[in-house]
Structure 1
Amino acid sequence: MKNKKRSWLAMFIALSAAGAFIKIPAVIGSVALDALPALMAAGLLGGAAGAAVGGIGHLLSSIVAGMPLGPFHFLVACEMALLVYLFTMLYRSGKRWQAGVLFILGNSFAAPLPFMMLMGKSFYLAVVPSLFVGSVLNTVLAFIVLPRVVRVLGDRLPLSKQA
């Protein structure tokens, strides 16, 4: 990985840590704007970088919230990394709206499914609305900011030809 790309990756992880402090009211305290930098990194740096920011960003967000789900947050970090990676594949192939819908639905409804098995249906029903709002906010903000960053910074970004 080139130094320029590493620097951008570090910046997005730091932004994810900052987004972890912007909480969305939820049953558990780890729904935040930590996914926005992951989606940005996905669009600008690629799937692996976006997945890394998504997973690390979620762990930082859960630490800020006091790790309310304990070790289950590692499962959520893996789910987040996978969702961001899938988002990248669709986003970079020109299917941007599908990428957004996949991320929102996956993060809101599919990702908490293992917790329904472990903690019950009431936990799932309680957490889905705030996950949905958080996913929509993160995705909409990414769709607003990404094209502007590309337009303003242009050649200074470590973009591949697909972005």
Structure 2
Amino acid sequence: MKLKRLTLTALFAALCVIGGLIKIPSGIGSLALDTVPALVSAAFLPPVFAGTAAMLGHAASAMNAGFPLGPLHVIIALEMFVIVIAFARLHKAGHDLLKWVFFIVANGLLAPLPFYFLISPAFFIGSLPFLLLATIVNAVIAAVVMPVIQQAFATRKGQLR
């Protein structure tokens, strides 16, 4: 079972890397669809493993963009780790609407808050609309894809028996 979990984590992390190559136009080059696979992974992996996929996905997206915020991407990757863990826990607990509201608020509004103090209020205010838009785009795509993949997996699992 451990090998299956690690393999799925690696698969979702790789999908996050691919999603990181699909950029969302903004003033920040690292906004991308890297979170969609991590959110979907919450349906198949324990929360810590889903968070790991999100963290690796952000790191790859930032690397592809040339690390526009430098070492501050470590903070963002850790935030993604924590946010996706909480999202996965809400998913496992059956809080279907709350998990999406939490993700949008946490990732789109709360996660950028440290940059108000670390960079500048102007950077925070200027980047917030793009971050919120990218968060909503990632959430909508994941919300559409997640039930389809879960259903396909359940159907496939039933056919194998």
Normalised-by-shorter TM-score class: over 0.9
Aligned partner of 2:11 in structure 1 is: 11
CA positional deviation for 1:156: 6.2
**2:56 partner SS:** helix
Moved over 4 A (4+): none
Alignment deviations for residues 139-158 of structure 1 (CA, whole Å, 9 cap, x no partner): 1111111111111122767x
| Contact 2:52/2:81 (8 A) holds in 1 | yes
Q: RCO (CA 8 Å, sep 6+): is it higher in 1 or 2?
A: 1
Task: Give the TM-score normalised by the residue count of structure 1.
Answer: 0.91
Q: Which runs of 5+ in 1 are unaligned?
A: 158-163
Aligned to 1:61, the other structure's residue is in SS state: helix
Q: Distance in 2 between matches of 1:115 and 1:5?
A: 34
What is the match of residue 105 of structure 2? 105
Q: 1:44: Cα distance to partner?
A: 1.5
Secondary structure of 2:43's counterpart equals: helix
SS in 2 for 1:27: coil
CA contact (8 A) 2:51 2:84 kept: yes
Q: How does 1:1-163 map to 2 (within 5 A)?
A: 2-154=2-154
* Two-structure CA RMSD over aligned residues (Å): 1.4
Whether the aligned pair in 1 keeps the contact of 2:43 and 2:150 (CA below 8 Å) is no
Q: Which amino acid aligns with 1:68?
A: P
Identity %: 38
Counterpart position of 1:160: none
Q: What SS does the corresponding residue of 2:23 show, helix, strand or coil?
A: coil
Aligned length: 157
Q: What's the TM-score once normalised by structure 2's chain length? A: 0.92
Q: Secondary structure in 1 aligned to 2:8?
A: helix
- 1:44-95 CA-partner distances (Å, limit 9, x unpaired): 2120111001111110010000001111100100000100011111111111
Question: Quick one: which amino acid aligns to residue 97 of structure 1?
Answer: L
Q: CA deviation at 1:2?
A: 2.1
